[in-house]
Amino acid sequence: MPKMPRVSKAALAKVVTAAVKRKAPAKHKLAEEFPSGEILFDVAKGQWKLGPVIGKGGFGLIYLATDDLRAPVDKHAQYVVKIEPIDNGPLFCELHFYQRAAKIEMIDSWVQERRLRYLGVPKYIGTGRHEKNGRTYRFMVIQRFSTDLQKLFVKSQTFLPRTVMALGLRMIDALEYLHENEYIHADIKAANMLLGYKGAKIAQDEVYLVDYGLAFRYSVDGKHKEYKEDPRKAHDGTIEFTSRDAHKGVCPSRRGDFEILGYCMLQWLCGRLPWEDNLSDPDYVRDSKIKYMRNIPSLLKACFPGRDHPDAISSYLSLVVKLDYDEKPDYKQLRKILLDGLHKMGCKDEWKLHLPPSGTISTTPIITKVQRKRKSPLPQDDSGEPSFVPPKQRKTTSKVVRSPVPAVMTSPRRRKVASPGKTKPPKTLSNGQIDLSSVSWAARSPSADVKKTKSATGPKRTPTKRRVKRSRKPEMDAAIQTTPGLKRNR
Protein backbone atom coordinates (compact mmCIF):
# COMPACT_ATOMS: atom_id res chain seq x y z
CA MET A 1 0.00 0.00 0.00
CA PRO A 2 1.52 3.33 -1.06
CA LYS A 3 2.35 5.82 1.61
CA MET A 4 0.17 8.91 1.91
CA PRO A 5 2.05 12.17 1.39
CA ARG A 6 2.59 14.23 4.49
CA VAL A 7 0.54 17.40 4.85
CA SER A 8 1.79 20.24 6.97
CA LYS A 9 -0.38 21.59 9.75
CA ALA A 10 -0.54 25.02 8.08
CA ALA A 11 -1.82 23.54 4.82
CA LEU A 12 -4.38 21.44 6.68
CA ALA A 13 -5.60 24.47 8.57
CA LYS A 14 -6.14 26.35 5.29
CA VAL A 15 -8.18 23.47 3.88
CA VAL A 16 -10.37 23.27 6.97
CA THR A 17 -10.86 27.03 7.06
CA ALA A 18 -11.90 27.08 3.41
CA ALA A 19 -14.36 24.24 3.99
CA VAL A 20 -16.15 25.90 6.87
CA LYS A 21 -16.00 29.41 5.50
CA ARG A 22 -19.42 30.93 4.98
CA LYS A 23 -20.62 31.72 1.53
CA ALA A 24 -20.98 35.40 0.66
CA PRO A 25 -24.58 36.55 0.70
CA ALA A 26 -26.24 36.51 -2.68
CA LYS A 27 -26.78 39.81 -4.38
CA HIS A 28 -30.30 41.18 -4.41
CA LYS A 29 -32.27 40.36 -7.53
CA LEU A 30 -33.76 43.29 -9.38
CA ALA A 31 -37.44 43.26 -10.20
CA GLU A 32 -38.38 43.40 -13.86
CA GLU A 33 -39.98 46.63 -14.98
CA PHE A 34 -43.76 46.44 -15.22
CA PRO A 35 -45.65 48.36 -17.92
CA SER A 36 -47.72 51.42 -16.98
CA GLY A 37 -51.26 50.42 -16.16
CA GLU A 38 -50.35 47.17 -14.35
CA ILE A 39 -52.88 46.46 -11.58
CA LEU A 40 -51.79 45.22 -8.14
CA PHE A 41 -54.03 43.86 -5.36
CA ASP A 42 -53.01 44.38 -1.72
CA VAL A 43 -53.92 42.15 1.22
CA ALA A 44 -56.93 44.36 2.02
CA LYS A 45 -58.19 43.81 -1.56
CA GLY A 46 -57.34 47.36 -2.52
CA GLN A 47 -56.36 47.93 -6.15
CA TRP A 48 -53.40 50.00 -7.30
CA LYS A 49 -52.60 51.13 -10.81
CA LEU A 50 -48.90 51.52 -11.64
CA GLY A 51 -47.47 54.48 -13.50
CA PRO A 52 -43.91 55.26 -14.62
CA VAL A 53 -40.78 54.27 -12.69
CA ILE A 54 -39.41 57.18 -10.64
CA GLY A 55 -36.70 55.38 -8.66
CA LYS A 56 -34.44 52.34 -8.66
CA GLY A 57 -32.44 50.78 -5.84
CA GLY A 58 -30.65 47.61 -4.83
CA PHE A 59 -33.95 46.04 -3.79
CA GLY A 60 -36.14 46.86 -6.78
CA LEU A 61 -38.13 49.65 -8.41
CA ILE A 62 -40.35 52.50 -7.28
CA TYR A 63 -43.44 53.45 -9.29
CA LEU A 64 -45.94 56.25 -9.18
CA ALA A 65 -49.36 54.79 -8.42
CA THR A 66 -53.01 55.66 -7.92
CA ASP A 67 -56.08 53.94 -6.47
CA ASP A 68 -58.28 55.44 -9.20
CA LEU A 69 -58.33 52.74 -11.89
CA ARG A 70 -60.43 54.84 -14.29
CA ALA A 71 -57.80 57.54 -14.82
CA PRO A 72 -54.22 57.26 -16.08
CA VAL A 73 -51.40 57.68 -13.58
CA ASP A 74 -50.09 61.21 -14.15
CA LYS A 75 -47.02 62.96 -12.78
CA HIS A 76 -49.02 64.36 -9.85
CA ALA A 77 -49.94 60.95 -8.39
CA GLN A 78 -50.10 60.97 -4.58
CA TYR A 79 -48.76 57.43 -3.94
CA VAL A 80 -45.69 55.34 -4.75
CA VAL A 81 -45.24 51.56 -4.84
CA LYS A 82 -41.99 49.78 -3.95
CA ILE A 83 -41.60 46.37 -5.63
CA GLU A 84 -38.91 43.69 -5.23
CA PRO A 85 -38.59 39.92 -5.74
CA ILE A 86 -39.94 38.08 -2.72
CA ASP A 87 -36.55 36.44 -2.09
CA ASN A 88 -34.92 39.80 -1.32
CA GLY A 89 -34.57 41.09 2.22
CA PRO A 90 -34.43 44.92 2.44
CA LEU A 91 -38.08 45.55 1.62
CA PHE A 92 -39.11 42.70 3.93
CA CYS A 93 -37.33 44.43 6.85
CA GLU A 94 -38.77 47.81 5.92
CA LEU A 95 -42.26 46.38 5.55
CA HIS A 96 -42.18 44.93 9.06
CA PHE A 97 -41.34 48.34 10.46
CA TYR A 98 -44.19 50.05 8.59
CA GLN A 99 -46.74 47.43 9.62
CA ARG A 100 -45.75 47.62 13.28
CA ALA A 101 -44.97 51.32 13.79
CA ALA A 102 -46.16 53.50 10.87
CA LYS A 103 -49.88 52.92 10.56
CA ILE A 104 -51.93 55.98 9.69
CA GLU A 105 -53.93 56.01 12.92
CA MET A 106 -50.78 55.66 15.04
CA ILE A 107 -49.03 58.63 13.45
CA ASP A 108 -52.17 60.80 13.48
CA SER A 109 -52.70 60.08 17.16
CA TRP A 110 -49.07 60.96 17.98
CA VAL A 111 -49.30 64.26 16.09
CA GLN A 112 -52.51 65.21 17.85
CA GLU A 113 -51.28 64.36 21.35
CA ARG A 114 -48.08 66.39 20.98
CA ARG A 115 -49.68 69.18 18.97
CA LEU A 116 -47.27 68.88 16.05
CA ARG A 117 -47.90 70.31 12.61
CA TYR A 118 -46.75 67.01 11.12
CA LEU A 119 -44.47 64.07 11.87
CA GLY A 120 -41.58 63.30 9.52
CA VAL A 121 -42.33 59.56 9.30
CA PRO A 122 -44.04 58.12 6.19
CA LYS A 123 -47.46 56.57 6.61
CA TYR A 124 -48.02 52.94 5.72
CA ILE A 125 -50.82 52.52 3.13
CA GLY A 126 -50.82 48.88 2.06
CA THR A 127 -48.87 45.80 0.97
CA GLY A 128 -49.30 42.62 -1.03
CA ARG A 129 -47.84 40.10 -3.48
CA HIS A 130 -47.90 40.07 -7.25
CA GLU A 131 -47.28 37.25 -9.75
CA LYS A 132 -45.60 38.08 -13.06
CA ASN A 133 -44.03 35.71 -15.61
CA GLY A 134 -43.74 32.90 -13.08
CA ARG A 135 -42.04 35.08 -10.43
CA THR A 136 -43.49 36.34 -7.15
CA TYR A 137 -42.94 39.93 -6.04
CA ARG A 138 -43.55 41.76 -2.79
CA PHE A 139 -44.80 45.35 -2.92
CA MET A 140 -45.58 48.15 -0.47
CA VAL A 141 -47.62 51.34 -0.94
CA ILE A 142 -46.68 54.57 0.87
CA GLN A 143 -47.36 58.27 0.42
CA ARG A 144 -45.40 60.16 -2.19
CA PHE A 145 -42.60 62.61 -1.45
CA SER A 146 -40.45 65.03 -3.42
CA THR A 147 -36.68 65.52 -3.81
CA ASP A 148 -34.11 64.47 -1.22
CA LEU A 149 -31.94 66.91 0.73
CA GLN A 150 -28.70 65.43 -0.60
CA LYS A 151 -29.35 66.97 -4.01
CA LEU A 152 -29.78 70.38 -2.42
CA PHE A 153 -26.71 69.92 -0.23
CA VAL A 154 -24.45 68.90 -3.12
CA LYS A 155 -25.36 72.08 -5.01
CA SER A 156 -25.17 74.50 -2.09
CA GLN A 157 -22.20 72.82 -0.31
CA THR A 158 -23.54 73.93 3.10
CA PHE A 159 -26.87 74.73 4.70
CA LEU A 160 -27.64 77.87 6.67
CA PRO A 161 -27.31 77.40 10.46
CA ARG A 162 -31.02 78.12 10.90
CA THR A 163 -31.77 75.41 8.32
CA VAL A 164 -29.59 72.90 10.17
CA MET A 165 -31.26 73.65 13.52
CA ALA A 166 -34.76 73.35 11.99
CA LEU A 167 -33.89 70.06 10.28
CA GLY A 168 -32.46 68.74 13.53
CA LEU A 169 -35.69 69.56 15.36
CA ARG A 170 -37.79 67.69 12.82
CA MET A 171 -35.49 64.67 13.02
CA ILE A 172 -35.69 64.66 16.83
CA ASP A 173 -39.49 64.50 16.49
CA ALA A 174 -39.20 61.55 14.10
CA LEU A 175 -36.60 59.69 16.19
CA GLU A 176 -38.56 60.08 19.39
CA TYR A 177 -41.57 58.47 17.69
CA LEU A 178 -39.45 55.61 16.33
CA HIS A 179 -37.75 54.98 19.67
CA GLU A 180 -41.02 54.98 21.57
CA ASN A 181 -42.17 52.25 19.18
CA GLU A 182 -38.98 50.24 19.89
CA TYR A 183 -37.24 50.90 16.55
CA ILE A 184 -33.92 52.42 15.50
CA HIS A 185 -33.42 53.96 12.05
CA ALA A 186 -29.60 53.48 11.92
CA ASP A 187 -29.09 55.19 8.53
CA ILE A 188 -29.91 58.88 8.97
CA LYS A 189 -28.51 61.08 6.18
CA ALA A 190 -29.59 63.78 3.75
CA ALA A 191 -30.21 61.21 0.99
CA ASN A 192 -32.85 59.58 3.24
CA MET A 193 -34.65 62.85 3.98
CA LEU A 194 -37.31 63.81 1.46
CA LEU A 195 -39.35 66.98 1.11
CA GLY A 196 -43.11 66.64 1.25
CA TYR A 197 -45.46 66.63 -1.72
CA LYS A 198 -48.96 68.07 -1.45
CA GLY A 199 -51.48 69.06 -4.08
CA ALA A 200 -49.04 68.64 -6.98
CA LYS A 201 -46.57 70.99 -5.24
CA ILE A 202 -43.38 70.52 -3.24
CA ALA A 203 -43.86 71.16 0.46
CA GLN A 204 -40.66 73.14 1.06
CA ASP A 205 -41.09 73.21 4.85
CA GLU A 206 -41.84 69.51 5.43
CA VAL A 207 -39.11 66.89 5.62
CA TYR A 208 -39.57 63.13 6.11
CA LEU A 209 -37.12 60.43 7.22
CA VAL A 210 -37.43 57.48 4.82
CA ASP A 211 -35.69 54.19 3.91
CA TYR A 212 -36.08 51.78 6.80
CA GLY A 213 -34.09 48.94 5.23
CA LEU A 214 -31.70 48.97 8.22
CA ALA A 215 -34.40 49.62 10.82
CA PHE A 216 -33.69 47.59 13.95
CA ARG A 217 -35.92 46.66 16.86
CA TYR A 218 -33.66 47.49 19.78
CA SER A 219 -36.12 46.50 22.49
CA VAL A 220 -38.47 43.54 22.69
CA ASP A 221 -41.13 43.61 25.41
CA GLY A 222 -39.25 46.42 27.15
CA LYS A 223 -35.88 44.60 27.29
CA HIS A 224 -33.02 46.46 25.62
CA LYS A 225 -30.48 44.56 23.51
CA GLU A 226 -27.18 43.88 25.27
CA TYR A 227 -23.97 45.65 24.34
CA LYS A 228 -21.94 43.08 22.42
CA GLU A 229 -19.25 43.76 19.83
CA ASP A 230 -19.34 41.59 16.71
CA PRO A 231 -16.61 42.14 14.07
CA ARG A 232 -18.76 40.43 11.45
CA LYS A 233 -21.29 43.27 11.68
CA ALA A 234 -18.75 46.08 11.93
CA HIS A 235 -19.12 49.30 9.91
CA ASP A 236 -22.79 48.81 8.98
CA GLY A 237 -24.49 51.89 7.56
CA THR A 238 -23.18 54.87 5.61
CA ILE A 239 -19.48 55.06 6.48
CA GLU A 240 -19.14 58.83 7.04
CA PHE A 241 -22.10 58.95 9.45
CA THR A 242 -21.99 55.50 11.06
CA SER A 243 -21.97 55.59 14.86
CA ARG A 244 -19.01 54.38 16.90
CA ASP A 245 -21.10 51.45 18.14
CA ALA A 246 -21.89 50.35 14.58
CA HIS A 247 -18.19 50.55 13.66
CA LYS A 248 -17.58 47.95 16.41
CA GLY A 249 -20.43 45.70 15.28
CA VAL A 250 -22.70 46.55 18.23
CA CYS A 251 -26.45 46.46 17.67
CA PRO A 252 -27.92 49.91 16.87
CA SER A 253 -29.17 51.97 19.81
CA ARG A 254 -30.93 55.26 20.52
CA ARG A 255 -27.67 57.04 21.28
CA GLY A 256 -26.35 55.79 17.93
CA ASP A 257 -29.23 57.48 16.08
CA PHE A 258 -28.49 60.81 17.74
CA GLU A 259 -24.76 60.44 17.13
CA ILE A 260 -25.44 59.89 13.41
CA LEU A 261 -27.74 62.93 13.35
CA GLY A 262 -24.99 64.97 15.01
CA TYR A 263 -22.51 64.04 12.26
CA CYS A 264 -25.11 65.00 9.63
CA MET A 265 -25.73 68.43 11.17
CA LEU A 266 -21.99 68.98 11.50
CA GLN A 267 -21.45 68.23 7.81
CA TRP A 268 -24.34 70.49 6.76
CA LEU A 269 -22.76 73.35 8.70
CA CYS A 270 -19.09 73.02 7.69
CA GLY A 271 -19.38 71.14 4.37
CA ARG A 272 -16.98 68.28 5.10
CA LEU A 273 -16.22 66.01 8.06
CA PRO A 274 -12.57 65.51 9.15
CA TRP A 275 -12.53 61.78 8.32
CA GLU A 276 -13.93 62.18 4.79
CA ASP A 277 -10.39 62.32 3.42
CA ASN A 278 -10.11 58.50 3.66
CA LEU A 279 -13.53 56.85 3.62
CA SER A 280 -12.10 53.77 1.92
CA ASP A 281 -10.51 52.77 5.24
CA PRO A 282 -13.31 51.96 7.75
CA ASP A 283 -10.85 51.49 10.60
CA TYR A 284 -9.40 54.96 10.02
CA VAL A 285 -12.89 56.47 10.05
CA ARG A 286 -13.75 54.59 13.26
CA ASP A 287 -10.56 55.67 15.04
CA SER A 288 -11.06 59.30 13.93
CA LYS A 289 -14.57 59.38 15.33
CA ILE A 290 -13.47 57.85 18.64
CA LYS A 291 -10.64 60.38 18.94
CA TYR A 292 -12.73 63.44 18.10
CA MET A 293 -15.76 62.47 20.18
CA ARG A 294 -13.48 62.28 23.22
CA ASN A 295 -12.61 65.94 22.62
CA ILE A 296 -15.53 67.87 21.12
CA PRO A 297 -13.61 71.20 20.92
CA SER A 298 -10.93 69.54 18.77
CA LEU A 299 -13.65 68.18 16.46
CA LEU A 300 -15.20 71.63 16.02
CA LYS A 301 -11.76 73.17 15.45
CA ALA A 302 -11.10 70.63 12.69
CA CYS A 303 -14.49 71.31 11.10
CA PHE A 304 -14.36 75.11 11.42
CA PRO A 305 -10.67 76.12 11.13
CA GLY A 306 -10.42 79.80 12.02
CA ARG A 307 -14.19 80.23 11.92
CA ASP A 308 -16.99 80.55 14.42
CA HIS A 309 -19.57 77.82 14.81
CA PRO A 310 -23.05 77.74 16.38
CA ASP A 311 -22.90 76.98 20.09
CA ALA A 312 -25.89 74.68 19.65
CA ILE A 313 -23.93 72.02 17.75
CA SER A 314 -21.27 71.92 20.50
CA SER A 315 -23.90 71.53 23.23
CA TYR A 316 -25.74 68.88 21.23
CA LEU A 317 -22.65 66.70 20.67
CA SER A 318 -21.54 67.13 24.28
CA LEU A 319 -24.91 65.83 25.49
CA VAL A 320 -24.98 62.89 23.07
CA VAL A 321 -21.45 61.70 23.92
CA LYS A 322 -22.45 61.31 27.58
CA LEU A 323 -25.29 58.87 26.83
CA ASP A 324 -24.97 55.24 27.86
CA TYR A 325 -25.68 52.49 25.35
CA ASP A 326 -29.11 51.59 26.71
CA GLU A 327 -29.98 55.03 28.15
CA LYS A 328 -33.10 56.86 27.04
CA PRO A 329 -32.10 60.24 25.54
CA ASP A 330 -33.51 63.44 26.97
CA TYR A 331 -35.51 64.44 23.89
CA LYS A 332 -36.79 67.58 25.56
CA GLN A 333 -33.28 68.82 26.37
CA LEU A 334 -31.97 67.99 22.89
CA ARG A 335 -34.86 69.87 21.37
CA LYS A 336 -34.28 72.84 23.68
CA ILE A 337 -30.63 73.11 22.60
CA LEU A 338 -31.59 73.48 18.95
CA LEU A 339 -34.52 75.79 19.75
CA ASP A 340 -32.23 78.12 21.70
CA GLY A 341 -29.87 78.11 18.74
CA LEU A 342 -32.69 79.19 16.46
CA HIS A 343 -33.81 81.95 18.81
CA LYS A 344 -30.27 83.35 18.98
CA MET A 345 -30.43 83.72 15.20
CA GLY A 346 -33.70 85.63 15.46
CA CYS A 347 -35.83 82.79 14.04
CA LYS A 348 -39.19 82.43 15.76
CA ASP A 349 -40.83 79.78 13.58
CA GLU A 350 -39.11 76.44 14.19
CA TRP A 351 -41.15 74.82 11.39
CA LYS A 352 -39.62 77.01 8.68
CA LEU A 353 -36.74 75.12 7.04
CA HIS A 354 -35.26 77.95 4.94
CA LEU A 355 -33.98 75.45 2.38
CA PRO A 356 -32.60 76.74 -0.94
CA PRO A 357 -35.36 75.80 -3.46
CA SER A 358 -32.93 75.64 -6.37
CA GLY A 359 -30.09 74.19 -4.40
CA THR A 360 -28.04 77.39 -4.32
CA ILE A 361 -27.70 80.12 -1.73
CA SER A 362 -27.19 83.55 -3.27
CA THR A 363 -25.24 85.86 -0.96
CA THR A 364 -24.95 88.75 -3.46
CA PRO A 365 -28.21 89.72 -5.14
CA ILE A 366 -27.77 90.72 -8.78
CA ILE A 367 -29.75 93.64 -10.22
CA THR A 368 -29.93 93.40 -13.99
CA LYS A 369 -30.30 96.30 -16.40
CA VAL A 370 -33.83 95.20 -17.12
CA GLN A 371 -34.68 95.39 -13.41
CA ARG A 372 -33.25 98.90 -13.16
CA LYS A 373 -35.12 100.03 -16.25
CA ARG A 374 -38.42 98.66 -14.99
CA LYS A 375 -37.75 99.76 -11.42
CA SER A 376 -38.34 96.26 -10.08
CA PRO A 377 -38.52 95.95 -6.29
CA LEU A 378 -35.13 95.40 -4.71
CA PRO A 379 -34.32 92.01 -3.19
CA GLN A 380 -34.56 91.99 0.60
CA ASP A 381 -32.56 90.22 3.26
CA ASP A 382 -33.92 88.42 6.31
CA SER A 383 -34.57 91.69 8.14
CA GLY A 384 -36.78 92.97 5.33
CA GLU A 385 -34.29 95.67 4.30
CA PRO A 386 -33.01 95.98 0.71
CA SER A 387 -29.78 94.03 0.36
CA PHE A 388 -28.62 96.06 -2.65
CA VAL A 389 -28.97 99.76 -3.41
CA PRO A 390 -28.41 100.65 -7.09
CA PRO A 391 -26.86 103.97 -8.08
CA LYS A 392 -29.17 106.93 -8.56
CA GLN A 393 -30.87 106.92 -11.91
CA ARG A 394 -30.05 109.75 -14.28
CA LYS A 395 -33.21 111.61 -15.12
CA THR A 396 -33.95 111.85 -18.80
CA THR A 397 -36.50 114.22 -20.33
CA SER A 398 -37.51 115.32 -23.78
CA LYS A 399 -37.51 118.99 -22.79
CA VAL A 400 -34.69 121.29 -23.90
CA VAL A 401 -32.40 122.31 -21.04
CA ARG A 402 -32.94 126.01 -20.41
CA SER A 403 -29.95 128.27 -20.19
CA PRO A 404 -29.32 132.05 -20.28
CA VAL A 405 -26.93 131.28 -23.11
CA PRO A 406 -28.83 130.96 -26.42
CA ALA A 407 -29.32 127.41 -27.60
CA VAL A 408 -29.56 127.11 -31.36
CA MET A 409 -31.25 123.81 -32.22
CA THR A 410 -33.20 122.46 -35.09
CA SER A 411 -36.38 120.44 -34.76
CA PRO A 412 -39.25 119.43 -37.00
CA ARG A 413 -41.61 121.21 -34.58
CA ARG A 414 -41.16 124.98 -34.02
CA ARG A 415 -42.55 127.28 -31.38
CA LYS A 416 -43.32 130.97 -31.51
CA VAL A 417 -40.90 133.32 -29.78
CA ALA A 418 -42.43 134.97 -26.72
CA SER A 419 -41.41 138.52 -27.75
CA PRO A 420 -43.45 140.24 -30.47
CA GLY A 421 -42.01 141.29 -33.76
CA LYS A 422 -39.53 139.74 -36.08
CA THR A 423 -36.54 138.01 -34.64
CA LYS A 424 -33.27 139.08 -36.23
CA PRO A 425 -31.12 136.26 -37.49
CA PRO A 426 -27.74 135.96 -35.74
CA LYS A 427 -24.64 137.06 -37.60
CA THR A 428 -21.87 134.70 -38.53
CA LEU A 429 -18.27 135.88 -38.13
CA SER A 430 -15.54 135.26 -40.64
CA ASN A 431 -14.12 132.40 -38.57
CA GLY A 432 -17.42 130.51 -38.73
CA GLN A 433 -18.57 131.28 -35.14
CA ILE A 434 -21.84 133.00 -34.23
CA ASP A 435 -21.81 136.60 -33.04
CA LEU A 436 -23.64 136.37 -29.72
CA SER A 437 -24.16 140.15 -29.55
CA SER A 438 -26.41 139.93 -32.59
CA VAL A 439 -28.81 137.48 -30.94
CA SER A 440 -31.99 139.11 -29.60
CA TRP A 441 -32.79 138.92 -25.87
CA ALA A 442 -35.96 137.00 -26.66
CA ALA A 443 -33.86 134.16 -28.00
CA ARG A 444 -31.62 134.26 -24.88
CA SER A 445 -34.43 134.42 -22.34
CA PRO A 446 -35.07 131.26 -20.34
CA SER A 447 -38.77 131.70 -21.02
CA ALA A 448 -38.18 131.38 -24.72
CA ASP A 449 -37.33 127.62 -24.56
CA VAL A 450 -36.37 127.91 -28.20
CA LYS A 451 -36.37 124.90 -30.45
CA LYS A 452 -36.86 127.16 -33.47
CA THR A 453 -37.14 130.86 -34.38
CA LYS A 454 -40.41 131.84 -35.91
CA SER A 455 -42.62 134.93 -35.73
CA ALA A 456 -46.10 135.64 -36.86
CA THR A 457 -44.90 137.71 -39.81
CA GLY A 458 -41.51 136.15 -40.44
CA PRO A 459 -40.72 133.21 -42.69
CA LYS A 460 -41.17 129.67 -41.45
CA ARG A 461 -37.51 128.92 -41.78
CA THR A 462 -34.74 131.56 -41.66
CA PRO A 463 -31.76 131.27 -44.00
CA THR A 464 -29.36 131.32 -41.06
CA LYS A 465 -31.13 128.44 -39.42
CA ARG A 466 -31.21 126.53 -42.64
CA ARG A 467 -27.50 127.05 -43.10
CA VAL A 468 -26.77 125.87 -39.53
CA LYS A 469 -28.81 122.73 -40.01
CA ARG A 470 -27.39 121.80 -43.36
CA SER A 471 -23.81 122.73 -42.57
CA ARG A 472 -21.45 119.83 -42.66
CA LYS A 473 -18.24 121.85 -42.28
CA PRO A 474 -15.97 120.46 -39.53
CA GLU A 475 -15.10 123.92 -38.28
CA MET A 476 -18.78 124.81 -37.89
CA ASP A 477 -19.46 121.62 -35.97
CA ALA A 478 -16.51 122.31 -33.73
CA ALA A 479 -17.71 125.83 -33.03
CA ILE A 480 -21.16 124.65 -32.03
CA GLN A 481 -19.78 121.84 -29.89
CA THR A 482 -17.31 123.98 -27.96
CA THR A 483 -19.42 127.09 -27.49
CA PRO A 484 -21.13 127.08 -24.04
CA GLY A 485 -24.90 126.64 -24.25
CA LEU A 486 -24.86 125.27 -27.79
CA LYS A 487 -25.79 121.72 -28.67
CA ARG A 488 -24.40 119.83 -31.57
CA ASN A 489 -26.79 119.09 -34.43
CA ARG A 490 -27.69 115.46 -34.87
Q: pLDDT, tens digit, for every residue of 309-344?
A: 999 999 999 999 999 999 999 999 999 999 999 999
Give pLDDT, residue 57.
65
The CB density around residue 361, as the number of other CB atoms within 10 Å, is 16
- Selected catalytic residue, list 187, 211, 245, 257: 187
The CB density around residue 434, as the number of other CB atoms within 10 Å, is 20
- Concerning whether 187 is annotated as a catalytic residue, the answer is yes
Query: Which tens digit of pLDDT belongs to each residue from 231-243?
Result: 988 998 999 999 9
- In sequence order, the 6+-apart residues with CB closer than 8 A to the CB of 168 are 261, 265, 316, 338
Query: Which tens digit of pLDDT belongs to each residue from 374-405?
Result: 333 334 444 343 333 343 444 444 444 444 44
- pLDDT at position 23 over 50: no
Mean pLDDT for the chain? 77
Domains, the chain, in order of start with CATH, read: 39-143 (3.30.200.20), 149-220+229-344 (1.10.510.10), 401-490 (no CATH)
Query: Which tens digit of pLDDT belongs to each residue from 51-103?
Result: 999 887 656 789 999 999 988 898 889 999 999 888 776 778 888 999 999 99
Label each residue of the chain as H, E or C. CCCCCCCCHHHHHHHHHHHHCCCCCCCCCCCCCCCCCCEEECCCCCEEEEEEEEEECCCCEEEEEECCCCCCCCCCCCEEEEEEECCCCHHHHHHHHHHHHCEHHHHHHHHHHCCCCCCCCCCEEEEEEEEECCEEEEEEEEECCCCEHHHHHHHHCCCCHHHHHHHHHHHHHHHHHHHHCCEECCCCCHHHEEEEEECCEEEEEEEEECCCCCCEECEECCEECCCCCCHHHCCCCCCCCCCHHHHCCCCCCHHHHHHHHHHHHHHHHHCCCHHHHHCCCHHHHHHHHHHHHCCHHHHHHHHCCCCCCCHHHHHHHHHHCCCCCCCCCCHHHHHHHHHHHHHHCCCCCCCCCCCCCCCCCCCCCCCCHHHHHHCCCCCECCCCCECCCCCCCCCCCCCCCCCCCCCCCCCCCCCCCCCCCCCCCCEECCCCCEEHHHCCHHHHCCCCCCCCCCCCCCCCCCHHHHHHHHCCCHHHHHHHHHCCCCCCCC
Give pLDDT, residue 182.
95
Query: Which tens digit of pLDDT belongs to each residue from 157-182?
Result: 999 999 999 999 999 999 999 999 99
CA nearest neighbour of 44 among 119, 103, 108, 109: 103
Rounded to whole angstroms, the Cα distance separating 428 from 279 reads 89
Query: Which tens digit of pLDDT belongs to each residue from 181-223?
Result: 999 999 999 999 999 998 788 999 999 999 998 899 999 888 9
Query: Which tens digit of pLDDT belongs to each residue from 412-444?
Result: 444 444 445 455 566 666 666 666 555 554 444
Task: Using DSSP bridges, classify how beta strands 39-41 and 427-428 pair: parallel, antiparallel or unpaired.
Answer: unpaired
Give pLDDT, residue 329.
97
- pLDDT at position 28 over 60: no
